[in-house]
Amino acid sequence: MKIKNKSALIISILIPLAVGTLSALLSGNISEYSLINKPLISPPGFVFPIVWTILYILMGISSYIIFISEKANKAKALNIYAIQLFFNFLWSIIFFRFSLYFFAFLWLIMLIILIVLMIYRFYQISSLSAYLQLPYLFWCLFASYLNFMIYRLS
C-alpha cells in the first residue's frame, strides 16, 4: 500500500480511535466488567482496550484505502462505515452505562450485519481494505457470544 496522503491516513486512524475513546468515557465505569457474571471463556478486562486499539487502527487504515480510491462507489462504502462506527460507539454505552444486556446484544447483531455489509462494499473497491476488517468482524462475533451469555447469566 502506497501512502498518497499522510494527513488523510492519520485522520482516518484518529477517527475510530476518537470514537472508541469517547464511547469508553461515556460508558461509565467499564472497570466494573470484572464484577459482571461472565461465561468461562471471557478474556480479562485488560485485553479489551488492547484489542480495540488494534481494531480501530485497522479500521482507520481500511477506511483510508477506500477514501483514496477513485472508485465511484466509495461514498456508499464510507457511509456504511460511518453508520457501523455509530453503532459501535453506542454499543458500550448501552451495555456498560445502562446494563441493558439483551438490547445491547440485539444492537450488536445489527452492528455485525452492518460490518458484513461494509466488508462487502469495501471488497468491491479494495480486497485489502475488506480483509483488514475481518479481525473486527470476528471480535464482534465473539463479543456477541459474551454479550448474550452475560445476558443469560444476569
User: What's the gap between Cα 34 and its chain centre?
Assistant: 21
Among 128, 113, 129, 127, CA closest to 78: 129
Q: Express each pLDDT in 24-38 by its tens digit.
A: 999 987 777 888 999
Q: Does residue 110 contact residue 128 with C-beta atoms inside 8 Å?
A: no
Stretch 56-81: mean pLDDT? 97
Rounded Cα gap, residues 134 and 119, in angstroms: 8
Q: Using alpha carbons, select from 8, 9, 6, 15 the residue that is nearest to residue 84.
A: 15
How confident is the model over 40-53, as pLDDT tens digits? Answer: 999 998 999 999 99
Would you list the domain boundaries of the chain?
A: 6-29+43-153
Topology classification of domain 6-29+43-153: Ferritin (1.20.1260)
Percent of the chain with pLDDT over 70: 99
Q: What is the largest CA-CA distance in the chain?
A: 49
pTM greater than 0.85: yes
